[in-house]
Amino acid sequence: MKAHLSRRYLFSASHRLHNDAMSAEENRATYGKCNNPHGHGHNYVLEVTVSGPVDERTGMVCNLVDLDQFVEREVLERFDHQNLNTLPGFAGTVPTTENLCEQIYDILQRGFGYAHLEKVRLEETLMNSFEYAGGVELRK
């Protein structure tokens, strides 16, 4: 039997949406108030969905302790209370939530081997969320 497990995590980070290849006017027109030179922050809600067969012995797709520890160590410690613009992963990349979602997916895909990673969903505000499933971005 295959099942899906989704787990939610919270972290806060700031960013400024700005592309150095664009003029100041283009940046303002493209990113609006999110181009504020001082940046702004979000309380993100990260949802990680994994799938796999249900282990007959444990009755689980994966051990939540293992998933929680991995996400804490590899994702939350990296991004929580950080200015995304200053992180090496965003050198030359605009730190949009779409790009952050893709980075988190790639981190999880490379390192968490206990279950199949289906997707990550990142809620930026009550009105904006983004999903990434490895090459297919679904905007909501």
Q: Which residues are known catalytic residues? A: 34, 81, 124
How many CA atoms within 13 Å lie on the side-chain side of 68?
Answer: 5
Strand partners, 69: none
Distance from C-alpha of 4 to C-alpha of 67, rounded to nearest angstrom: 13
For residue 18, give every residue at least 6 positions away whose Cβ sits within 8 Å of its Cβ, in sequence order, or none. 27, 31, 35, 85, 94
Beta carbons of 73 and 30 less than 8 angstroms apart: no
